[in-house]
Amino acid sequence: MFGKKKKWQQLQEAVRQDDAEQVKNIASNLTLYWQDGYYDACELAIQQNESEVLEALITAGLGLHFSRASSENRGLARKLLDAALSSSDPVPLLSVLYNKNDVTSPTPLTREDFLNKDTSISFIQNRLEYDKALFNDCVQNIGLFSTEKLEFILTFSSRSPHFQTPLDNALIQVAAAGDIEKAKLLLERKASPDYAQGRAVLRAAEGGHTDMVGLLLPLMNPVLCSDIATQLRLKDPSSSLIASLESVKRKTEAVIIPSAAPQETEEDYTLVDANTLAEVQQLPNGVTLTTLFNFKTRQQEKYAMNEAGDIFPSKPVNFNEIDKDVIGALREKFDALANPEPEPSQSQASTKGNAGKGYEHLKTVLKSS
């Protein structure tokens, strides 16, 4: 018994001296019967902010298994996590616990224990830089509870291999809650109101969030609007809600119509560069809609800008999803503007200039946003 006690005393002394190598040597020779002392050594390392020692200790020891009862394992691991959270420099300690928890079988802690609404921005950054697959967990468990943290998490969206679905699902949730600020952040990252047949608009309408409906409707395919209105009627919503939805729909139903035929005149069209035709429209609700047709990438992109100057892009649409006759007509307009008549009429020159100003205004706002 004395020998066992002496060995644990040696381990704790090595922890106090911040000697990771000695900690590793001693801990690797301990047995399952000395788990209480093993836990005490981990706790001491956390109290002294010794992340390298903590890692050496857990790696050489038993992971986050401190007793034979799994329920006690979780309780003790949770105490270590709470101690790390309250330390003066928590991120390195939390990283060790997170990584070692993943290699412990069964894992005593869940991702939600580490990634929740109280998680610091510094630890969010640490995890997302280490593992991009955690993007959805961070959005769901942290971002939906804090606008500031959501904005930070979304800066990693372009680095995540599968970020679109988490963005779209999050938009449905914030729309249901009527959270305009979070919805705008998600829309700026190209979350799609069209996802799941426009479920974000449906949830917003069911919750009576007319401002949210007004934000999302100009950005979605109007074909879906009729289906949403039908679903609401079948669920017997208030008549004022249906009236509000229909009113917004009538004002914005021209926003996204991929198969719509172009206008007969060229007054809304201008060249952006050697490959791109732009159409600028002023909609009845004050929204400026700019549609870009890139004949090199063969994609259509739309940007809706409200009166406040906020810009909301839609997901690109491939030309093969648009009627061939429409693309052919657009190509004719592109060629006509790329190879103008030697002496265009005054009205044509004036019209083209107005469209160009509209697109230049969009570019200025995009650069400053």
DSSP-derived secondary structure letter, 316: P
- In the chain, pLDDT over 70 holds for what percent of residues? 75
Distance of alpha carbon 130 from alpha carbon 43, whole angstroms: 25
DSSP-derived secondary structure letter, 306: -
DSSP-derived secondary structure letter, 270: E
* pLDDT at residue 131 greater than cutoff 70: yes
Residue-wise pLDDT for 236-287, tens only, equals 555 456 665 555 455 444 433 333 333 333 347 888 888 888 888 887 667 7
* Chain length of the chain: 369
Would you state the pLDDT for residue 84? 93
Distance of alpha carbon 310 from alpha carbon 183, whole angstroms: 12
Which domains are seen in the chain, by residue range? Answer: 2-114 (no CATH), 121-252 (1.25.40), 269-368 (no CATH)
Would you state the pLDDT for residue 223? 67
> What's the whole-number average pLDDT of the chain?
78
Q: Parallel, antiparallel, or unpaired: how do β-strands 288-294 and 311-313 relate?
A: unpaired
Tell me which of 158 and 255 has the higher pLDDT.
Answer: 158
Which secondary structure element, helix H or strand E, spans residue 101, and what is its range?
Answer: helix 90-102
* pLDDT at residue 143 greater than cutoff 90: yes
Residue 205 burial by CB count (10 A; 0-12/13-18/19+): exposed, middle or buried? Answer: buried
* pLDDT at residue 163 greater than cutoff 90: no
* pLDDT at residue 324 greater than cutoff 70: yes
Contact 41, 9 (CB under 8 A): no
Would you state the pLDDT for residue 247? 56
Measured CA distances, 256 to 23, 98, 263, 300 (Å): 64, 45, 15, 11
18-32, 39-53, 138-152, 333-347: least confidently modelled range: 333-347
Would you state the pLDDT for residue 250? 54
Verdict on whether the full-model pTM lies above 0.85: no
User: How many CB atoms neighbour CB 197 within 10 A?
Assistant: 14
Would you state the pLDDT for residue 249? 52
Can the peptide bond before residue 92 be classed as cis, meaning omega within 30 degrees of 0? Answer: no
Distance of alpha carbon 97 from alpha carbon 252, whole angstroms: 51
